[in-house]
Amino acid sequence: MEERMDFRILNNGSFIPSIGYGTYKTGTEGETEQAVSNALSVGYRLLDTAAYYGNEEAVAKGIRASGIKRTDIIITTKIWHTDAGYDNTMRAVESSLKKLNTNYIDIMLVHQPLGDYYGSWRAMEELYDQNVLRGLGLSNFYEDRLIDLLYHCNVKPVVNQIECHPFNQRQSLLQLMRKHQVVGMAWSPFTRDRQPIFDHPIIKSLAEKYGVSKHQIILRWHIQ
């Protein structure tokens, strides 16, 4: 898997794998630790977590158990809206660093456009200049909030994490993001209620035609 991994180049010159491992609702601390370790063992190198998920410490334990070097892993985590604002974000980043057992975070996202997220962005820009945050990003920012932030920031977001899948294609948003060199990062790529997408006749027929799983068809759609 690792040898064939596709990558996306970000607007700050860094890159991320096109497929990552999300840790939302991965279970207990022990289950999350095992899941992360397993994911890394089969070739995943992008891990997504968040303060809101309450599992940053378990993710760190999974990384440690895997034996994979920290420098070979891209970690994204997020600032929850209750930590919006300059001072709160500074404390939230410090907390995430401690829980993730790392001295830097590859991409820090603003989880939602709520509260004083401009204050959060100012704090994140300072930490970016200090190389504590290697990349800044957004989550759940749609056209109006995204374009507003793009015209009022010093450091451009490298990614915007949004719900995106064949049933919710976000074409106008993705077109805007491409224009401004912001990479789309899909959450719930198989939809939130997963079973109906696997029962869709087009998905099933394509999987049969190409001799691959329905999951692979959907992931190929995302990559292309």
User: Got the DSSP string for 182-223?
Assistant: -EEEEESTT-SS-HHHHH-HHHHHHHHHHTS-HHHHHHHHHH
CB 128 within 8 A of CB 136: yes
Q: Is 124 exposed, middle or buried (0-12, 13-18, 19+ CB in 10 A)?
A: buried
Among candidate residues 186, 175, 132, 124, the one with its CA nearest the CA of residue 149: 124
**What whole-number distance in Å separates Cα of residue 190 and Cα of residue 219?**
8
Q: Which residues pair with 183 in a beta bridge?
A: 159
**Three-point CA angle 30, 35, 36, nearest 5°:** 100
Query: Does 53 qualify as catalytic in the annotation?
Result: yes
Residue 160, sorted as left (phi over 0), alpha (psi -120 to 50) or beta, turns out to be beta
**What whole-number distance in Å separates Cα of residue 17 and Cα of residue 47?**
10
Q: Is 48 exposed, middle or buried (0-12, 13-18, 19+ CB in 10 A)?
A: buried
**What whole-number distance in Å separates Cα of residue 222 and Cα of residue 164?**
8
The catalytic position among 53, 104, 128, 142 is: 53
Question: Which residues are tagged catalytic?
Answer: 53
